[in-house]
């Protein structure tokens, strides 16, 4: 049953071939047996999952159901889930039982989907390798010596290891697309404002966006149908009608104009990754697409601009963790300042503290114009580049990351070398545009995805483009060996 896609599981539930309780039990068994080697889950919510599965079966029996009723899913551990530990991968929230439910997880709960558990991640979503988790690194199911990518590495790994057919992720600088690419699964970051951020523990509020991670584009479309939509509780959520993302999956691609940003194929790109991406683009030509080179002249400036804006916003957002109202508090504080400082320094990991320091510095008196304002100006230039390129073509295509998944520990010494992992993904977050990764091949046995970038609110088009590729390739159907439980 775990080999089946989410769409196939939905059909099997509808046909009565399996119950949600059976499906949920099956996954819980697999997680117990297989996950110790991958560490993709932080918390498994077995009892709640089985209870929810019983209710889902009752709903189906009563005729009150939709495509996701009874489908087991995993949620990244930065979505608040009422009554369940929500750690955000951090010691500071290790004891935090969320008192409310995020809009995204509430939407899934109301649709009757089952939460199997909460997935591992880089602490506060800060990282590109999932090595920054208080709960230990996640291992790539394709090669346990390799990182799964980050920050949604647990969600990506659990899909690749078939420990859930669908998972939620979040993407602030590539945190859905890069791990999806490295774990050989499908992931889409919607347009900023498409999905509510309410109840997501904030990293960089002007960049954060949630999206689905699945094996196929069709599955991602089914999940996005439940995730997307206006929410008055998120002040930056856009009030715009949500299409049925599954409706146009099969639309022919004749005449599709694909732009290849030349900056995405420049120095620094691994030749194996480039080969995989170019082969994928050739498939699109066979499907009727035409190719054109385009330019994003300010793309290289995305990296410095991002590493001002994201840490600046993070330093502000993370000021709420003070050891007073919730979360970790240090032992025997001498006074209030000692309580703040030690609770935070003992509770936050190294990378989180580093970004808080960078952000605090950038926002400190006298530096605002040189850093934050400058970065916001560059942000506009980056978006204008995309707007121009996407007026010449329908979508852009390129790699998600310069290399395939690297070995655990390979980039932990130098933060800047880790940040370079985000070079092809962060510009989209700055521009607010939707982007997707679909499995496109392998380099030395490690998966590589193709990144597809669209115009604002073009998620349906991206999913259609991903789906058509998956009709003529089988990269998304391949699975790592040694996964039988």
Instruction: Pick from 293, 338, 392, 407 the residue near another protein by CB under 8 A.
Output: 338
Chain positions 196 to 225 lying near another protein, rule: CB under 8 A, are: 206
Site for another protein in 158-197 (CB under 8 A): 191-193
Query: Contact between 326 and another protein (CB under 8 A)?
Result: yes
Cβ pair 238, 193 in contact under 8 A: yes
Which listed residue (305, 393, 438, 453) binds another protein by CB under 8 A?
305
Tokens of 68: 């996701």
Residue 381 engages another protein in binding (rule: CB under 8 A): yes
Query: Which of 40, 102, 175, 181 does the annotation list as catalytic?
Result: 175
Let me know: does 213 contact 156? Beta carbons within 8 Å: yes
Per the residue annotation, which of 128, 133, 151, 181 is the catalytic one? 151
Q: In Å, what is the CA distance from 433 to each residue of 85, 104, 105, 385, 426?
A: 32, 20, 23, 12, 10
Give whichever of 310 and 436 is closer to another protein, judged by the CB atom.
Answer: 310
336 near another protein, judged by CB under 8 A? yes
Q: Between the CA of residue 341 and those of 322, 358, 433, what are the distances in Å?
A: 8, 17, 38
The answer to whether the beta carbons of residues 169 and 73 sit under 8 Å apart is no
CB 389 within 8 A of CB 294: yes
d(CA 465, CA 458): 11
Q: Which is nearer to another protein, 85 or 257 (CB)?
A: 85
Please identify, using beta-carbon distances, which residue of 69 and 429 lies nearer to another protein. Answer: 429
Are 146 and 408 within 8 A, CB to CB?
Answer: yes
Catalytic residue among 76, 139, 189, 468: 76
Count of positions on this chain that bind another protein (CB under 8 A): 73
Quick one: 234 exposed, middle or buried, by C-beta within 10 A (0-12, 13-18, 19+)? middle
> Any catalytic annotation for residue 76?
yes
149 binds another protein (CB under 8 A): no
Look up 151 and say whether it is catalytic: yes
Binding residues for another protein restricted to 39-98, rule: CB under 8 A:
95-97
Shortest Å, Cβ 464 to another protein = 22
Cβ atoms of residues 103 and 234 within 8 Å: yes
Is 373 a residue that touches another protein (CB under 8 A)?
yes
Q: Which stretch binds another protein (CB under 8 A): 11-19, 140-148, 241-249, 410-418?
A: 410-418
Counting Cβ atoms within 10 Å, is residue 410 exposed (0-12), middle (13-18) or buried (19+)?
A: middle
- Told to check if 340 binds another protein by CB under 8 A, we report yes
Contact window for another protein (CB under 8 A) among 66-74, 170-178, 307-315, 435-443: 307-315
Q: Can residue 431 be called a binding residue for another protein (CB under 8 A)?
A: yes
Q: Which is nearer to another protein, 14 or 97 (CB)?
A: 97
In the set 322, 394, 422, 459, which binds another protein (CB under 8 A)? 322
| Nearest residue (CB) to another protein, 326 versus 442 | 326
Identify whether the C-beta of residue 422 lies closer than 8 Å to the C-beta of residue 444. no
- What CA–CA distance (Å, rounded) separates 187 from 175? 10
Cα–Cα distance between 99 and 78 in angstroms, integer?
A: 13
Gap between the Cα atoms of 158 and 31, Å rounded: 9
Piece of 63-71, 116-124, 233-241, 277-285 that binds another protein (CB under 8 A): 233-241
Nearer to another protein, 316 or 478 (CB): 316
Q: Cβ of residue 260: shortest distance to another protein, in angstroms?
A: 23
Binders of another protein in range 120-139 (CB under 8 A): none
d(CA 388, CA 393): 9
């Amino acid at each position: 049953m775990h080999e089946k896609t989410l769409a196939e599981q939905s059909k099997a539930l509808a046909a009565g071939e399996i119950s949600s309780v059976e499906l949920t039990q099956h996954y819980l068994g697999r997680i117990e047996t297989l996950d110790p080697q991958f560490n993709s889950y932080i918390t498994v919510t077995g009892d709640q999952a089985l209870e929810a599965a019983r209710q889902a079966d009752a709903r189906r029996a009563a005729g009150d159901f939709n495509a996701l009723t009874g489908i087991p899913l995993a949620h990244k551990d930065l979505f608040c889930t009422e009554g369940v530990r929500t750690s955000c991968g951090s010691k500071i929230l290790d004891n935090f039982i969320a008192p409310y439910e995020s809009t995204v997880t509430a939407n899934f709960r109301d649709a009757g989907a089952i939460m199997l558990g909460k997935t591992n991640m880089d602490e506060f979503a800060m990282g590109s390798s999932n090595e920054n988790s208080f709960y230990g690194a996640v291992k790539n199911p394709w090669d346990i010596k390799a990182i799964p990518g980050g920050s949604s590495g647990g969600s990506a790994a659990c899909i690749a290891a078939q420990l859930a057919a669908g998972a939620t992720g979040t993407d602030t600088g590539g945190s859905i697309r890069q791990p999806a690419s490295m774990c050989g699964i499908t992931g889409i970051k919607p347009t900023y404002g498409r999905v509510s951020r309410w109840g997501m523990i904030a990293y960089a509020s002007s960049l954060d966006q949630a999206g689905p991670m699945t094996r196929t584009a069709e599955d991602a479309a089914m999940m996005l149908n439940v995730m997307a939509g206006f929410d008055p509780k998120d002040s930056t959520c856009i009030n715009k009608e949500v299409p049925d993302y599954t409706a146009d999956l099969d639309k022919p691609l004749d005449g599709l104009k694909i732009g290849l940003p030349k900056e995405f194929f420049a120095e620094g790109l691994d030749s194996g990754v480039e080969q995989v991406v170019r082969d994928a683009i050739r498939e699109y030509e066979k499907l009727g697409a035409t190719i054109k080179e385009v330019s994003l002249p300010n793309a290289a400036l995305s990296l410095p601009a991002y590493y001002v804006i994201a840490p600046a916003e993070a330093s502000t957002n993370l000021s709420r963790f003070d050891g007073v109202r919730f979360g970790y508090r240090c032992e025997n504080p001498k006074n209030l300042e000692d309580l703040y400082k030690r609770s935070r320094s003992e509770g936050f990991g190294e990378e989180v503290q580093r970004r808080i320091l960078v952000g605090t510095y950038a926002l400190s008196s006298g530096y605002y114009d040189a850093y934050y304002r400058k970065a916001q100006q560059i942000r506009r230039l980056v978006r204008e580049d995309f707007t121009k390129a996407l007026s010449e073509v329908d979508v852009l295509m390129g790699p998600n990351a310069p290399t395939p998944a690297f070995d655990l520990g390979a980039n932990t010494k130098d933060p800047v070398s880790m940040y370079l992992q985000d070079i092809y993904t962060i510009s989209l977050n700055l521009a607010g545009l939707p982007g997707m990764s679909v499995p496109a091949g392998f380099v030395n046995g490690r998966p590589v995805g193709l990144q597809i970038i669209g115009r604002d609110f073009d998620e349906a088009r991206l999913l259609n483009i991903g789906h058509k590729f998956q009709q003529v390739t089988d990269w998304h159907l391949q699975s790592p060996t040694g996964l039988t439980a």
